[in-house]
Amino acid sequence: MDKSHFNTFIFSNANKIYYYVFCILKNSDQTIQIVEKTFEECWNKRKELSHSDLTPVFKIARDLAKNEVHGKTVSTGNHNHNAEVNPVLVHFCKLLEELAPIQAEILCLRSLSRMSIDEISKIVGLGLNNVQSMLAEARKLVRAKVDPKGILKEFSCYELLTKYYAGNTSVEEEEQLRLYVSRMDLSEIPETDRELFLMFLKIGNSEIPITGSDNLRDKIKEIQTTKFQRVMAKIKKQSK
């Protein structure tokens, strides 16, 4: 993958990587640091990457984020760390707090990063059936948290919702649901499900915080500058 393809590939998917890492760390500053490291590692391995396959990129991001969690205390409570973060994303992460970490990861990869079951399976290292089962359970738990008094069989009024909560919908079918929620008459969809899908839409249409985005662009320039160029720039600066 050459420089041009790499930049297009990375920046067109930066939001997806950011959402996923943020769901693990719950801290925007640390998330940006991990995404920067992901970019750097991907650049070093660019000859091995395909511009049509995000799986290895997410595996790199996952390993780095997990090492961050295990290696040091991840700050989740400081408001200043998340001041610029889309509040809908912060709210989504709060809904995941009572889920097992692997369930939260799977739901984030599917709902926010829109990865297929097969891709998620490769990223988290679990079988397809396990991923599908955990996805279905996570969706039901989050729905119940949004509406603790709701009855889960409510969603049978809309055919795709039944499949959705069983973990059986394809990425394409879930896109249909997103479009339906965003554009169509919602009278036949329960209020809880409307709230959930509108939340996913608001997150999916949001950008990385401006400061973080600027840092990522600077990081790309840095890792793509040769050692010789860096030395010459340093000499030039010192000579002034």
User: 105-116: per-residue pLDDT in tens?
Assistant: 999 999 888 899
197/28 Cα distance (integer angstroms):
23
Return the structure tokens found at 53: 């396959």
User: 141-159: per-residue pLDDT in tens?
Assistant: 888 887 776 544 454 446 7
Percent of the chain whose pLDDT exceeds 90: 32
pLDDT of residue 86: 83
Residue matched to tokens 């290895």: 56
